Structure 1
Amino acid sequence: MGLEREKDGGSALNNSEIDLECGPEILERVVLTVSGLKCGCCETGISKALRQYPAVANSQVNIVLARVEFDLDVSRSSVPAVISYLSKSTGYTYAVHEQPTGQILDLLVADPTDIHHAGRPYGFPSLKTVRIHYDASRIGARDVFEYYQHLAPNQDIRLAQAEPSGSSAVGLEETKRAFSLFIVTLLMTIPVLVFAWSHTRGIIYDHLSLALATIVQAVALEEFVPSGLRTLVHSHLFNMDLLIALSTSMAYVFSVVSYAFLIAGRPLEIGSFFETSTLLTVLILLGRTISEFSRLKAARLVSVRSLQSNYALILEPGGPIGPTREVRQIDARLLQYCDIINVPPHTRIVTDGKVLYGGSEVDESMTTGETVPVAKGLGQYVRAGTINGTGQLIVAITKLPHENSISTIAKMVEDAEFTKPKIQVLADQVAEWFVPVISIIGIVVFLLWMFISHFHYHDDWQRSTMIAITYTIATLIVSCPCAIGLAVPMVVLIAGGVSARYGIIFRDPQKLEVARGITDVVFDKTGTLTSGTLQVIEATFHNDRSDLKAMISGLLENDKHPVARGVVSWLRDETWKDGHNRLYPVTMRDIKSAPGCGVMGVCELNNLEIRAGNPEWLGLSVLDNHDTQLCITIDGEHSATFRLRDTVRPNANSVIQRLLDRGLVVHMISGDGEGAVNDIAHTIGIPKSHTRWRTKPGDKKDYIHDIQCKGGVVLFCGDGTNDSVALKQADVGVHINQGSDVAKSAADVILMTARLYDILILLDLSQAAYTRIMLNFGWSFIYNILAVLMAAGAFVKFRIDPRWAGLGELVSVVPVIIIAFQLRWIDFAQEYRGMEWRQGDEN
């Protein structure tokens, strides 16, 4: 991440350290993990610090995952300089979040120099971790591991323990730290509470209370003051840390003053209240511990990587493939290509592969949301993380753990977790003003109670001041912006994990918010509403060239369009029926694709230009019908015509009807002919007025744009490369995973299965997430209003004592977490499973 460009590491905000005349921008995306976060409102200070740094742009902060992401102009600054500046400005600790792109192997060795001097394979002492990067396509993990084991047979070289992801590791450390501080302060506080509540008074008990309260206050100051002061000085924000430090210090100082008067023989009427400052600190730290644990638990529960098995049973070489062949257990990280694994009944499948032996039913609910097991047999594919049923499977692995289905889904989910829904902006603005407003309220409460106590209750100024301070402390402490700060990111995190379990990946979480407002749903036809497996039902050849089929095959064999695949498959079958073993495609050059129209190329043997596409593009007059037509021209001469027929997905009718029942307008657009488009539209219940045919990629984009200009919010669902611009134009672009990688990169949401009813789940999940975000905001608002009023003494019979005000964070944050976690308890697919349709063997 640009670490090699390290310059001096000081605060890069200083103009002398940022050269503004370094030429054009060179942007790098940087991801940092953050340690030391204490509550949900920490994000405000970090965000403001990033906005003030000239070389940083497009910054995102995820408080739940404890990560920061931004674009850095490395021509003006460096990553170490940004880290130094952020650490100085906010008081938190930052580190580069490394994401290895290739395969890695972590080994524990006694002497790392042995590994260094060993070179590379193929052309309990204190153990150190050595990270080895290698190309898994050229050498296997076991080969690397065994090479180094043989190098130093006397050393205890072993695999290092698998490290948790960066966010989980940071979350675990923060939870441990918060829990440790809580335990230490609790042990110091219990005696103080016993002395105070048992009315055991005496000079010795006051001495002990002072000593113990001083230790607790020292912990509180160390925990809250440094970061609070840094944020105040560098970001000009008066944050919750400083508010807590001020409140606990007020209680402690006045207890010390009261203690001093007691020692001097002039005890104050109000007495000392060391239990207030100590109990405040303990309860605040308890709230922080629960909050940290909840964030850690949330990150772990939604992590798809938890589905990855740690061990695998591989078949030893030699002997027939079957259940009797000898196996041995290895760490899953040591799997390599060409391995064959044994999957016993009721165990999790380690990685993606193809069944070589056996049969069983596999529970794929953890990655697709489907509760009905899927039958798997010879030649069919299985996915990592799914659970085998009662049968035994022998599987040839096709993907290693770092690239299998689990890793692919997890990577997409993790990449998406930074982006904020627009509603988060409101939460950030409220959190930024929350503490200053509460501080002003605290001052008002102090003045009011001081005057009320003196003039209404006729107390002397000393007692009035002490009473006012107790109300002020309670008011300042009981308020909590953490619930507001966590209201959106906690729901987004849980919703992202829940959607991933249904095979729905939000590449842009902003669309989680947008989807609930959809008014129009636009479908591409081929491969989306239809199966995308076209079959040739009629072929007409207009000349008798012996090499015609070979030239057509040569032009279309690498084309992934469903029409091209259907024609090539038919040509191969016809060749076999004619008594020939196989069709040998002619080599083509200068192949060019015209999206939405066809493809052209030049034959290497005779330099003839061959085109394959729709009749309109080729300038041919062909009678239109209800089938898809592909015409072939050779040097402009019409040489062949293929009629192909597609089938509607069995659940398309039901999905379309449910969308219509919700009041949504459903459209269908296609590059196919009018007859084929209208036939499908009639079959599934889409009005002809909402269909378009012979649409090129630009036409699809314009069609969506026209709907948006009329006030519509559009969801577009497609799968092909020619759908890419439409996916970008739509308010929510949904890609069916079986399509092209180009379309996938343009989409906002990816459906990992070919189920159309995932669109319905997507809409339901969006509404459910939005509802819970609103509930969280509502609870945060109600809690803070009521809690502040009760702490300030607005209700005569209901008052929050300063000692218990520290429970504020716990009481405010726990409901937010519970509301967010409710998403995990909803079965979003329950009412749609009757429409289930599987394509059979899915890769």
Structure 2
Amino acid sequence: MDKGLLKEGEAYPEDVADVERGPATFERVVLTISGLKCGCCESGISKAFRHIPAIKDHQVNIVLARVEFDLDTSRLSISAAISRLTRVTGYTFEKHDQPEGQILEVLVNDPRQICEAGKPYGVTLIESGTRQFWSPSMLFSGRNSTVPPEASRFNRPPHSLDSEKSEGPGLFQHTVRIHYDANLIGARDVFEYYQQLASGQHLQLAHPCSHPILAVGADQTKQACIMFLISLFFTIPVLVMAWAPLNQNNMAYAHVSLALATIVQIIAVKEFVPSAFKSLIHSRSFEMDFLVAFSTTTAYVFSVVSYVFQIRRHPLETGSFFETSTLLVTLILFGRVVNEFARLRAAKAVSFRSLQAEHALLVVPGQAQPREARKIDARLLQYGDSFKVPPHTRIVTDGKVIYGGSEVDESVMTGESIPVAKGLGHTVSAGTTNGSGELTVTLTALPHENSISKIAAMVESAELSKPKVQALADRIAGWFVPAIMAIGTIVFVIWICLERYGNRRLWRDAVIRAITYAIATIIVSCPCAIGLAVPMVVLIAGGVSARFGIIFRDPQKLEVARNATDIIFDKTGTLTTGDLTVVEAIFHGPKEREVKSMILGLLVDVKHPVAAAVFKWLDKNSSSGEGFIKPAKMVGITSLPGNGVIGTCKQTQAVVRAGNPYWLGVDILESPHSVLCVTVSGELSAVFRLQDRPRSTAERVIRLLTDRGISVHMISGDSAGAVNEIAHTLNIPKHHACGRLNPGDKQEYIHNLQKEGRVVLFCGDGTNDSVALKQADVGVHMNHGSDVAKSASDVVLMTTRLQDIPILLDISKAAYRRIMFNFGWSAVYNVVAILMAAGAFVAFRIPPAYAGLGELVSVLPVMFIAFQLRWRDYGKKYRGMEYE
């Protein structure tokens, strides 16, 4: 049975449910797409995915040429799904694997020697890849110097240990992938281990591969340029022979024009016809390729008919027509070049991985300052290493300064242009730029897990989500092509009637004139601007916000944030610094040292700011004066978000609870401090009063938000006295400040506002904020908090700067305005251009030859408006807040 001829809704045999296969086993699959030609290809791709029952929840990003979906592998394998999608859509799909853990790729002549050499402790898997690299020395050897096609993709020099290019032995080199646990063995140790074993052959690091999205974009841009240049090469002579003051009666010009126009038409057929008919047959959808294929073929056939009449000495009224068909194809191809280039630029604009430095100056251990350093590939860094950062160079990876001093430009991470002073003990981040001083840094994160990698992973995971406004664009684009075909038919009929019955022309002349108007009408229309209006802006806006340390984990919230009517802040660690100090400690009972020991054991791993401050104070005071107090061994420790922590002392079996007094049922005097009470076996044993202070920018940020008409709230699980004290300091209305709230109460507080029709943005950082982050219309998490809260949020702030909230709102509004402008421009362009091409305006008409400029004219403003987001400094008005 031919699977390509299945009827609508008919399943492939392997898609039919089979109870013997057991329950569905879904796997998340990410594919890159090659061969996309415009911004309106998404509808056909989406329909192809919907027609495969084994695929669920697919998401397509046409700008990044990427698709993600859940695949039931019990019904359809990944390779079978890729094969079917390729056959149905006409595009090429390739699986994008995200490797888990650390992988080192090396080049060897004989991979068997490495695979059979054994694995040192920490190496988990060795794979022999199929990729091959052509050594330049082959060109000068006596061997066959024909480079196989599979080698051409990777025709780049590999890296040795010290990042120096090497010619190698003049043989094909195979890639071996070595998987290892970076906590057990370092990359450099792995490389040197196998380098010693690779006797008689040359072992090198493989050249770092480009990110699949950028690689596909670059390849498609290159292919589009090649097709355009070939078409242009054959079009120029046709234009010269048609427009130059030559003897048009010389049939030699017509013969040459026919030959050249035929070549151009072959290019058009190759570029547009296969995908057009595959989409029509398999997805039952008309795409832009169908319009292009239909109109260019019609123009070419009409040109041939004109040529035949010219040969028979009965030239048509339009005269030579080959310049129309060739110029039409060439201009369309030129529009595709611009389209591909813009998509590639957009992908590069949000790619943070390009900030990763490729080389590091490894400090040779065991020497006094100044230490010697040698240049190595950054992939060979390992835990325990220290590296030098020369002046005005990019920092390789995250670390802590152990020698030297300088100022570091962290604008790529935070958007803050003012350099930050760095000295002994300060942390530095990958991708930031060192100033005039030299730093020696000890590594705290490997390149695959540093700040750049984390931000890039969050940005890339959000790229496939769509805001709701995209659904409108998808519906418009889905109906656009059939509507244009209908309009083209109407224009054809109207002009036949006008020419035949209004102007009394012959049927032949009426048909010819009507065809020229219909061709121009079909070609000049362009749904690509509609298809790109949303994803291009969302993509650029996501990249711009990431440059300010604002990561949209859900791009739908980019559309929602601008409508926020109420912003609710958690108190501790959000509006306040979270760096609490103990101002009073009261112990009850005679066993103070024993109580302190149990508290230390209970709170040692608790990250809540109040608990951490109490532990720090006890640890400091128990190590001086009265003698060292050893933390007691505690078991069964359980943290209750919003209440406290409970555990049992292993030695005495006493149950110890530490938390807020309301949870413990303790009556204490109200005060403007945070309070932590401790009970041992139900008896109050200790009371700690702590003081926090607002962040330096909190008051001004709240004033800025209030001036915008946004209601600012503060909620907390802390005591009412502490909450009211901070609220009074920050000028937050008392009725908008609530204390003693557990996680459920916070959720209810937000829900009550939402029931009144308010759009709520909640900003918090702790585990006890997770429920509130989920309930809010936009949940914003400060990155220094818990991972649980981060996973529940829609937006992650990579810094603790409160001014990032107004920046977030500004970017959201700017992105939405540009999306609306793009929709408006697309509508205005298509209406005006179609009317001009159809001949509605007598004085202004778009000839068929120039209708191919339609894609260029319609898409360029969309791209310009989207990229304009990158040219505006959204943090300018808030810059300097930290220093005022």
> How high is the TM-score relative to the length of structure 1?
0.96
Q: Distance in 1 between matches of 2:177 and 2:325?
A: 48
- Give, in angstroms, the shift of residue 823 of structure 1: 0.6
Q: Distance in 2 between matches of 1:380 and 1:463?
A: 82
Residue matched to 1:405: 451
Preserved contact between residue 182 and residue 289 of structure 1 (Cα < 8 Å): yes
Q: Distance in 2 between matches of 1:388 and 1:374?
A: 10
Preserved contact between residue 256 and residue 272 of structure 1 (Cα < 8 Å): no
Residue matched to 1:552: 599
Residue matched to 1:445: 491
Preserved contact between residue 30 and residue 96 of structure 1 (Cα < 8 Å): yes
- Give, in angstroms, the shift of residue 266 of structure 1: 3.6
Q: Distance in 2 between matches of 1:146 and 1:526?
A: 49
The secondary structure found in structure 2 opposite 1:318 is coil
Residue matched to 1:3: none
Gaps of 5+ in 2: 124-134, 136-170
Structure 1 window deviating more from structure 2 (766-775 vs 153-162): it is: 153-162
The secondary structure found in structure 2 opposite 1:28 is strand
Residue matched to 1:14: 11
Instruction: Select the residue among 215, 230, 245 that pairs with 2:293.
Output: 245
The secondary structure found in structure 2 opposite 1:46 is helix
Q: Distance in 2 between matches of 1:768 and 1:568?
A: 45
Residue type of the alignment partner of 2:30: V
1:674-713 alignment, distance < 5 Å = 674-713=720-759
Residue type of the alignment partner of 1:49: A
Residue type of the alignment partner of 1:380: H
Q: Distance in 2 between matches of 1:350 and 1:56?
A: 40
1:429-444 alignment, distance < 5 Å = 429-444=475-490
Residue type of the alignment partner of 2:496: M
Please list the CA deviations of residues 406-432 of structure 1 after superposition, one character each: whole Å capped at 9, or x if unmatched.
000000000001100000000000000
Residue type of the alignment partner of 1:679: E
Structure 1 window deviating more from structure 2 (121-130 vs 240-249): it is: 121-130
Instruction: Select the residue among 347, 350, 355 that pairs with 1:302.
Output: 350
Please list the CA deviations of residues 342-385 of structure 1 after superposition, one character each: whole Å capped at 9, or x if unmatched.
10111110100000100111110111000111111101100001
Preserved contact between residue 13 and residue 53 of structure 1 (Cα < 8 Å): no
1:674-823 alignment, distance < 5 Å = 674-823=720-869
The secondary structure found in structure 2 opposite 1:836 is helix
Residue matched to 2:142: none
Q: Distance in 2 between matches of 1:359 and 1:661?
A: 41
Q: Does 1:567 align with 2:614?
A: yes
Q: Does 1:318 align with 2:366?
A: yes
Q: Distance in 2 between matches of 1:527 and 1:299?
A: 35
Residue matched to 1:5: none
Preserved contact between residue 564 and residue 760 of structure 2 (Cα < 8 Å): yes
Q: Distance in 2 between matches of 1:624 and 1:10?
A: 77
Q: How many residues align?
A: 828
1:621-636 alignment, distance < 5 Å = 621-636=667-682
Residue type of the alignment partner of 2:289: D
Preserved contact between residue 342 and residue 394 of structure 1 (Cα < 8 Å): yes
Please list the CA deviations of residues 546-567 of structure 1 after superposition, one character each: whole Å capped at 9, or x if unmatched.
3111101001111111111011
The secondary structure found in structure 1 opposite 2:879 is helix
Residue type of the alignment partner of 1:572: D
The secondary structure found in structure 2 opposite 1:312 is strand
- Give, in angstroms, the shift of residue 19 of structure 1: 3.1
- Give, in angstroms, the shift of residue 212 of structure 1: 1.0
Residue type of the alignment partner of 2:293: A
Q: Distance in 2 between matches of 1:473 and 1:583?
A: 89
The secondary structure found in structure 2 opposite 1:547 is helix
- Give, in angstroms, the shift of residue 132 of structure 1: 2.2
Residue type of the alignment partner of 2:251: I
Preserved contact between residue 11 and residue 53 of structure 2 (Cα < 8 Å): no
- Give, in angstroms, the shift of residue 260 of structure 1: 2.1
Instruction: Select the residue among 307, 310, 326 that pairs with 1:259.
Output: 307
Instruction: Select the residue among 510, 514, 519 that pairs with 1:468.
Output: 514
Residue matched to 2:143: none
Q: Does 1:279 align with 2:327?
A: yes
Residue type of the alignment partner of 1:57: K
1:584-595 alignment, distance < 5 Å = 584-595=630-641
Q: Does 1:619 align with 2:665?
A: yes
1:101-116 alignment, distance < 5 Å = 101-116=100-115
Residue type of the alignment partner of 1:804: Y
Instruction: Select the residue among 209, 212, 217 that pairs with 2:265.
Output: 217
Preserved contact between residue 755 and residue 837 of structure 1 (Cα < 8 Å): no
Q: Distance in 1 between matches of 2:498 and 2:349?
A: 52
The secondary structure found in structure 1 opposite 2:366 is coil
Q: Distance in 2 between matches of 1:426 and 1:113?
A: 55
- Give, in angstroms, the shift of residue 21 of structure 1: 3.6
Q: Distance in 1 between matches of 2:848 and 2:44?
A: 27
Q: Distance in 1 between matches of 2:871 and 2:199?
A: 52
Q: Distance in 2 between matches of 1:628 and 1:13?
A: 65
Q: Distance in 2 between matches of 1:49 and 1:385?
A: 40
Q: Distance in 1 between matches of 2:801 and 2:448?
A: 26
The secondary structure found in structure 2 opposite 1:162 is coil
- Give, in angstroms, the shift of residue 127 of structure 1: 2.4
Q: Distance in 1 between matches of 2:741 and 2:4?
A: 55
Preserved contact between residue 650 and residue 837 of structure 1 (Cα < 8 Å): no
1:127-166 alignment, distance < 5 Å = 127-166=173-212
Preserved contact between residue 13 and residue 54 of structure 1 (Cα < 8 Å): no
Q: Does 1:601 align with 2:600?
A: no
Q: Distance in 1 between matches of 2:853 and 2:318?
A: 24
> How high is the TM-score relative to the length of structure 2?
0.92
Q: Distance in 2 between matches of 1:176 and 1:52?
A: 32
Residue type of the alignment partner of 1:484: I
Give the superposed CA RMSD: 1.6
Cα distance change, pair 232–62 in 1 and its aligned pair in 2 (3 A): same
Residue matched to 1:841: none
Residue type of the alignment partner of 1:488: V
- Give, in angstroms, the shift of residue 180 of structure 1: 0.7
Residue type of the alignment partner of 1:113: R
Residue matched to 2:279: 231
Residue type of the alignment partner of 1:758: D
Please list the CA deviations of residues 718-742 of structure 1 after superposition, one character each: whole Å capped at 9, or x if unmatched.
0000000000000000001110010
The secondary structure found in structure 2 opposite 1:570 is helix
- Give, in angstroms, the shift of residue 645 of structure 1: 0.7
- Give, in angstroms, the shift of residue 579 of structure 1: 5.0
Q: Distance in 1 between matches of 2:10 and 2:381?
A: 48
Q: Distance in 1 between matches of 2:516 and 2:52?
A: 41
Q: Distance in 1 between matches of 2:106 and 2:36?
A: 31
Instruction: Select the residue among 385, 389, 401 that pairs with 1:355.
Output: 401
1:345-424 alignment, distance < 5 Å = 345-424=391-470
Residue matched to 2:158: none
Residue matched to 2:341: 293
Residue matched to 2:116: 117
- Give, in angstroms, the shift of residue 9 of structure 1: 13
- Give, in angstroms, the shift of residue 10 of structure 1: 12
Please list the CA deviations of residues 534-589 of structure 1 after superposition, one character each: whole Å capped at 9, or x if unmatched.
11100001012131111010011111111110110110111123153x43211111
The secondary structure found in structure 1 opposite 2:442 is strand
Q: Distance in 2 between matches of 1:531 and 1:783?
A: 52
Please list the CA deviations of residues 641-670 of structure 1 after superposition, one character each: whole Å capped at 9, or x if unmatched.
111111111111001111111111111110
Please list the CA deviations of residues 509-540 of structure 1 after superposition, one character each: whole Å capped at 9, or x if unmatched.
00000001101111111000110111110000
- Give, in angstroms, the shift of residue 444 of structure 1: 0.7
Residue matched to 2:97: 98
The secondary structure found in structure 2 opposite 1:625 is coil
Preserved contact between residue 9 and residue 80 of structure 1 (Cα < 8 Å): no
Preserved contact between residue 105 and residue 176 of structure 2 (Cα < 8 Å): yes
Cα distance change, pair 513–612 in 1 and its aligned pair in 2 (3 A): same
Residue matched to 2:31: 32
Q: Distance in 1 between matches of 2:106 and 2:61?
A: 32
Please list the CA deviations of residues 369-403 of structure 1 after superposition, one character each: whole Å capped at 9, or x if unmatched.
00111111101100001111111100001111100
- Give, in angstroms, the shift of residue 486 of structure 1: 0.4
The secondary structure found in structure 2 opposite 1:577 is coil
Residue type of the alignment partner of 1:267: P
